[in-house]
Structure 1
Amino acid sequence: MLEARPGNPESRAGTVDRRAAVPLLRRLRSAEGLADPAPVYDELRAMGDLVPAPWGGYLVTGFEACNQVLRGRTWLVPDFAWQERQTETERWHAVATQEMSRTLSRLNAPEHTRQRHSLGNLFDRNTLLDLAPRIEADVAGLLDRLAERIRADGEADLAAVVSERLPINTVGRWLDIPPEDYAHILEMTHNQVHAQELLPTKKELAVSEAATADLRRYFTDLVRERRANPGEDVISGWIRTWDALESDPAATDRVVYQLTMFVTIASLETTATLLSSLIWSLLRSPGAWEWLRARPEHIDDAIEEALRHDPPIRLNSRVAGEDTVLSGVLVPKDTMVHVMYGAANHDPRRNPDPHTFDILRRGTHLAFGGGAHYCLGAGLARLEARILMGQLLRRFPTLRAAGAPEYAPRMVFHRVTSLRVAA
């Protein structure tokens, strides 16, 4: 076992048994941990900024260490080249894992750089300005439906009626996907993300494999249709861009399929959970809903605090591209580390009194990652949350929670499956 370098009291990785993290990780996925992970974060950080993982590698818990990994050029995503060097092949050779490894989130330079540059600033100021009026209209319609459900039944599931629908409506319209396909895309996405969990079971990988095959068929057909009938839509534009870069149209279509699938599924669960978690955080904090309703200029502050307090993705993985010292510990090349976004955001050295939801905190968070793989859709997610909160506060002055949220039993994607509200 690698020893922590002397002189750094925050590094205890050489003295912690790798099995010590197992009960904490189980708790993080339990109903208790899904509802309130803060005690688990505290116990993990008490073990040090780097906690040895039972399967090898490390859990990174401190804000500065996580930030260093996300932004450091010597830290890479676990791409195909890394996977081929692993002895544990079942996970890395699984169909769903292999398919996601071809998408932007699992590419390193130079291919990652080439694909990212081809997209440009995907959601720049002008794009967001163009999208805003349609999002405003969409939110109004979804809130009409929410109001109808509350009038009819006394309460309604905000997660199902609003939070899940807004992101798929937004990205689906942007990519010109037929609205009748939205429900199917959501179902495929919910099932596919099992493969992106920390330690997926064989059963979860099988579910993810079926969903991945379904996604591949759907988006391959979508790209084929756009090539046959090009227009002024985003996907047709990507085809034209990549035709100028590739001599083989089939190579273009493969890249555009991967980009389209990735952008679509990356936009859904994370944004939906942000919306539900933001509303839940406000409703569970005494007086917060009324306070923000009287001060809508602080909606953006509330969004950032929700991202810090309860990030939609709790962890992500990187590998050392070379022998690297992290928090005083020598991490050998190819070692995998797991960046614990939630634990980092709750690091009291960065955000004092971290477990309190404080709209005026102006704290720091890593919810959108950092460095070369910073979230492409961060601006769009913030815009959707801002528009939703503006209308929700005006139209539902007495909104209240009718129960605590329900969560999917996952460790990576902190998906809210239900949030019942009344007014």
Structure 2
Amino acid sequence: MSVPYFDLADPSFDVTSAVVHAAREDHWYVETSYGHAVLRYAEASALLKDRRFQQGNAKWPAQNGIHSGLFSDWWKETLLSLEGQDHLRLRRLLNPAFRNKTIEAMRPTFQALANELIDGFAPRGEVEFISEFAEPYASRILCLLLGLPDSHWERVAHWADDLGKSFGIAIKSDLPRIEAALEGLTGYVEEVIADRLVAPREDLVSTLIAAHEDDDALSRRELSVALVFLAFAGMETTRNQLGLALQTLLKHPDQWRLLAGRPELGANAVEEVMRVNPTVTWITREAIEDVDLHGLHIPAGGIVQVLSHAAGTDPAAMPEPAFDITETHPMHLGFGGGVHHCLGHFVARTDMSAALPLLAQRMPDAVPDGSGEWLPVSGNTGALRFPIRFTPTAATPQPEPEQASADATRGQVRSAAGG
């Protein structure tokens, strides 16, 4: 039986569509414009852990006709493209800053930031969700993690947004903007590194500079590349996933109301959203040797995609695949798997689970206010603009004077730490 062919590079093709679901019933894989693609959960989960495959993103620029230049050279050096000891060494040096305990301690800060942003639109009863919440929330958290001044979030977000186009299927036409953003963000990061070399602080940049001086040292170039990649990948994916989370929850108003009443479901809401509506719609792997996989021969160098949504909603793995924040389903594949499992997954899980219940509580009866503007549902997807209306609510009550003074003192300390 011949398998279907999907053109993943076609902006009109939706990887979450009924066409994909129908193909999944008959085949565990399909042919695509970017190699084979796995549709079923069992095969997808196994492939991501299969040591006969490595991360396939290193070839992404070349697959789109980009073989040289500033972006192509930088892409080859990122954590996403590295393999073997180089990849393990970089992850080992970065891991301490992204441990669950470290990030969970920041939850109150994330919640305070979410409430501050919601205060700006809650009394109006309407919001353009991406520009007024998702983007500033993701970018300001990133600045906090990296020890960058909070006042620089818009500049960082602009660069990260343009660099994020490198994950999109229009990468070649967007290349001038991508390279301009890469040049700008790299220059900014180099200034931050130079500052921390002179005056170390309690932040991720200083931590990595300390590692830069150890026996297994990061080179100055490795340090710069790692920080630029963390800056754009961390902001862009979180912003996109927040927009997709609201899209999904507002399609299920009963779940939106439930989340408002039971904020402890925030963590599971994140998992459910990423299972049924992930920003990373496919995960790429490359065969490092000839592989025979369930009757499919994949030659060394062959590319295989895992379609996250198709795998995450596979009825064979989850008899009740419908979106439900009270249910625990098999682990979704939105953060990848194996040795390339997303380094920042604790950050994404924590900041989104902190924000979503607050949004549900303070945006009652929320509904989309028009269709918005969305990226193609292929590659990395998300909203460019997503207007929402809801029943207006009051701003967060201001703290008592004594508490306000203590908060201001903590804010000064945070500001000093952040530059």
The aligned runs of 1:61-100 (5 Å cut-off) are 61-78=39-56, 90-100=65-75
Q: Which residue of 2 aligns with 1:211?
A: 181
2:272–2:325 contact (8 Å) kept in structure 1 = yes
The aligned runs of 1:286-365 (5 Å cut-off) are 286-354=253-321, 356-364=322-330, 365=332
Q: Which residue of 1 aligns with 2:20?
A: 41
SS of 2:77's partner is coil
- Please report how far the alpha carbon of residue 47 of structure 1 lies from its aligned counterpart in structure 2 after TM superposition: 5.9
2:197–2:209 contact (8 Å) kept in structure 1 = yes
Residues 97 and 109 of structure 1: CA distance in aligned 2, closer, same or farther (over 3 Å): same
- Please report how far the alpha carbon of residue 375 of structure 1 lies from its aligned counterpart in structure 2 after TM superposition: 1.0
What is the aligned-residue identity percentage?
25
2:255–2:324 contact (8 Å) kept in structure 1 = no
CA-atom RMSD, angstroms?
2.6
Counterpart check, 1:16 vs 2:29: no
SS of 2:84's partner is coil
- Please report how far the alpha carbon of residue 196 of structure 1 lies from its aligned counterpart in structure 2 after TM superposition: 2.8
Matching residue's letter, 2:277:
D
Q: Which residue of 2 aligns with 1:3?
A: none
Q: Distance in 2 between matches of 1:49 and 1:404?
A: 33
Q: Which residue of 2 aligns with 1:159?
A: 130
Q: Which residue of 1 aligns with 2:231?
A: 264
Q: Which residue of 2 aligns with 1:186?
A: 157
Counterpart check, 1:385 vs 2:352: yes
- Please report how far the alpha carbon of residue 353 of structure 1 lies from its aligned counterpart in structure 2 after TM superposition: 4.7
- Please report how far the alpha carbon of residue 326 of structure 1 lies from its aligned counterpart in structure 2 after TM superposition: 1.9
The aligned runs of 1:393-408 (5 Å cut-off) are 393-408=360-375
- Please report how far the alpha carbon of residue 89 of structure 1 lies from its aligned counterpart in structure 2 after TM superposition: 9.0
Q: Distance in 1 between matches of 2:39 and 2:236?
A: 24
Q: Which moved more, 1:101-110 or 1:185-194?
A: 185-194
Q: Distance in 1 between matches of 2:267 and 2:306?
A: 25
Q: Which runs of 5+ in 1 are unaligned?
A: 1-11
- Please report how far the alpha carbon of residue 144 of structure 1 lies from its aligned counterpart in structure 2 after TM superposition: 0.3
2:281–2:309 contact (8 Å) kept in structure 1 = yes
- Please report how far the alpha carbon of residue 366 of structure 1 lies from its aligned counterpart in structure 2 after TM superposition: 0.4
Q: Which residue of 1 aligns with 2:192?
A: 222
Q: Which residue of 2 aligns with 1:127?
A: 102
Q: Which moved more, 1:303-312 or 1:343-352?
A: 343-352
SS of 1:350's partner is coil
- Please report how far the alpha carbon of residue 328 of structure 1 lies from its aligned counterpart in structure 2 after TM superposition: 1.9
Residues 52 and 211 of structure 1: CA distance in aligned 2, closer, same or farther (over 3 Å): same
2:279–2:382 contact (8 Å) kept in structure 1 = yes
User: Normalization by structure 2: what TM-score?
Assistant: 0.85
Q: Distance in 2 between matches of 1:101 and 1:405?
A: 35
Q: Distance in 2 between matches of 1:201 and 1:130?
A: 37
| Corresponding pairs, count | 389
Q: Which moved more, 1:90-99 or 1:327-336?
A: 90-99
Q: Distance in 1 between matches of 2:291 and 2:379?
A: 25
1:94–1:205 contact (8 Å) kept in structure 2 = no
Q: Which residue of 2 aligns with 1:142?
A: 117
Q: Which residue of 2 aligns with 1:173?
A: 144
User: Normalization by structure 1: what TM-score?
Assistant: 0.84
Q: Distance in 1 between matches of 2:110 and 2:171?
A: 38
- Please report how far the alpha carbon of residue 297 of structure 1 lies from its aligned counterpart in structure 2 after TM superposition: 2.9
Residues 40 and 283 of structure 1: CA distance in aligned 2, closer, same or farther (over 3 Å): same
Residues 317 and 93 of structure 1: CA distance in aligned 2, closer, same or farther (over 3 Å): farther
Specify which of 200, 207, 213 is matched with residue 237 of structure 1. Answer: 207
2:64–2:172 contact (8 Å) kept in structure 1 = no
